[in-house]
Amino acid sequence: MTTNSATSAKPRPKKYGTRDLLRLITTNAEPKKGLFILGILLSFVATICSLSITLMLKEFIDAFNHGNSGQLLVKLSIVIVLQLLASVSSSFLLSYTGVDAVSKLRSTLWDHIVDLPIPYFDHNRTGELSSRVVNDTSTIFELISSQFSNAINGLISIIGSLILMLMLNLKLTIIILIIVPIMAVIIIPMGQVLARISKAIQKETANLNSAAVQMISQNRLVKAMVAEKRLKSQGNDQVNRIKGFSISQIKLISFLNPILNIILLAAIFIIIVYGGILVQTNALTIGSLVAFLMYAVQMISPLSSVTGLVTAVQQTVGATERIDDILDTPVEDKRLDGVGLDSIDTINFDHVDFGYEADQPVLKDINLDIHRGERIALIGESGSGKTTLVSLLESYYAPTAGTLDVNGAPVASYAVPALRDQIGYVSQEVDLMPGTMRDNLLLGSPVAVTDDRLVELLGQVGLSDWLASLSDGLDTDVGERGLNVSGGQRQRLAIVRALVREPSLLILDEATASLDNQNQEKVTQLLATLPANLTSITIVHRLNQIEAYPRILFMEDGEITGDGDHATLLASHARYRDFYRLQYQHG
């Protein structure tokens, strides 16, 4: 049997481009093409109306000088209203298309992350994943809803203005045609530099987001270790890196805008001077000169939006690559076409090896048979492979060698949800989900459970008095990661959450480690009253009640070196005997 290769993504082109961006948008964002095209058409209408308004203003000024402007004023008002309606409608449709597309992309990304296998999360930081869901998709939204439409409008405005300027006066148009390439020579290379800086800012912002998530989630550890100074230094270094890139960006923009404004003012000045001469010689009307100036502005102003599209696409291509890093990672194979499972009756490890890395084995030649109803304690030093062993039972990982059977059939033949529905798992580090106590106790439960049953189970783990003291009872908000309740309470809530599922296999990964002796005794008594046909595997560090387990497995360096009850191991297993005595010597 081979390891789960879910963490390896399929090969992708080394260099991402616009084609990859379009593929991501059309495949995963699924924009409403009809609304998008309608929005572009309305945007086209709005731009044409804007160009027409300038032309009508020319006629209005010339007609005003001859005392005949009434009808033109009415036409001008109608076109202005039409331009306003088209512009508003276009803006709404394009923004709506962007919001809808990015919402679908975020949902796709969210669903994919939820379905990713455990090994993926072993190698990727939480903050970076959250940044992909929020920040990178926002970049795509900006491109769809704003940058693209602005560039299309700008292109239409540039072409339309150029044609109308040529119709008005060829010599003045030549002046503009000299100015525009000069501006383009400045804008395009600087835009590319700005794109690289923006990509660096995005990367560093994602790193800051990741560091912030880690710092906030580990705030108790930070304070307990008096590590505030170090964390502040790390955070400030990250902020200053972003600041450095941002200052570089500001410098370029601060330099670019005045230069372009000076060139634009120079062009307008030349047009006014030369146009004034043409007006004085009756070669050009005042209305035509005003219209030409307005068209010049309408032609030059959109240059930044057109060239900005190139910058925006480059930024978004970077976001596309990062999103594809996630979407190209195969989701966990839940084997939904696999066999169903009503209960776990037998478990057999036959010469099982496993390692997270190919050359670093964690489990070595595990041979183990477990039968329905057994109560097993799994002990050993930290790092001996105890948690890894039970992780194989839940199909988080697959053996690298040997076979693991459930009910006489390979574990890989069962549908993963059916297998996990039969397992109740409680870890040492318990994080509750945001929501109420009831939400957490019923999380993913495959069976219907009444409030009375929940109250009964909470009483069995010693939480009756605490529950009675809560004004909202089962509707009490547990807070982020369950921080509104104590560690011991979280631990007992997690035990109840596992029992609510009515599993046939209960795995307790040092589940009583956070409890005091009195409450540990209550949990031990509860476990003793569980149905006789419920198999339990308890990873134990505190051995004060180890005698209660009929079967004890002792692990050393990835191997099971002891298997028997307490008395047998105490008499025959030197390492177990030392381990047990050492526990009592240190309390």
Question: 16: which 2 tokens?
Answer: 């991402």
Q: Is residue 485 part of a domain?
A: yes
How many domains in the chain? 2
Q: Give, in degrees to the nearest 5, the angle at Cα 57 between 51 and 61.
A: 155
pLDDT at 39: 87
Q: Is the separation of the CB atoms in 509 and 390 below 8 Å? A: yes
Q: Which residue in the list 128, 228, 510, 559 is annotated as catalytic?
A: 510
Exposure string of 87-101, with b = 16+ CB inside 10 Å and e = fewer, is bebbbebbbebbebb
Identify the CA nearest to 394 among candidates 126, 114, 4: 4
Q: How far is CA 402 from CA 1, 106, 190, 335, 349, in A?
A: 7, 40, 60, 20, 8
Decide which of 472, 502, 532 is a domain's last residue. 502
Q: Which of 327, 355, 371 is the last residue of a domain?
A: 327
Q: Is residue 322 located within the same domain as residue 443?
A: no
Q: 318 and 462: one domain?
A: no
Note down the domain range covering 461.
Answer: 430-502
In this structure, which amino acid lies at residue 583? Q
Same-domain pairing of 156 and 287 = yes
| pLDDT for the residue numbered 383 | 84
**DSSP track, 254-266:** HHHHHHHHHHHHH
> Each residue of 390-416: b (16+ CB within 10 Å) or e?
bbbbbbbbbbbbbebbbbeeebbebbb
DSSP state of 505: E
Chain centroid to CA 315: how far? 18
Q: pLDDT tens, 101-136?
A: 888 888 888 889 889 888 888 887 777 787 788 778
Report residue 467 as tokens: 């529950």
pLDDT, tens digit, 9 for 90 and up, residues 477-513: 887 666 677 777 888 888 888 888 889 999 988 766 6
Q: What is the CATH number of the domain that holds 459?
A: 3.40.50.300
277 lies in some domain: yes
Return d(Cα 569, Cα 561) in angstroms, integer: 10
Number of H helices, E strands in the chain: 21, 10
Reported as a single tens digit per residue, the pLDDT across 189-244 is 777 787 778 778 877 877 787 777 777 766 766 666 677 787 788 888 888 888 88
Q: Which of 482, 487, 544 has its CA nearest to residue 515?
A: 487
pLDDT for position 8: 42
Q: What is the pLDDT of residue 82?
A: 92
pLDDT of residue 308: 67
Task: Give SS3 for 543.
Answer: coil
Q: For this structure, is 510 an active site residue?
A: yes
Residues 323 and 448 in one domain: no
Q: For the chain, which residues score pLDDT lower than 70? A: 1-16, 64-70, 217-218, 220-225, 304, 307-308, 310-311, 480-483, 511-517, 519, 522-523, 525-526, 584-587
pTM for this model (two decimals): 0.72
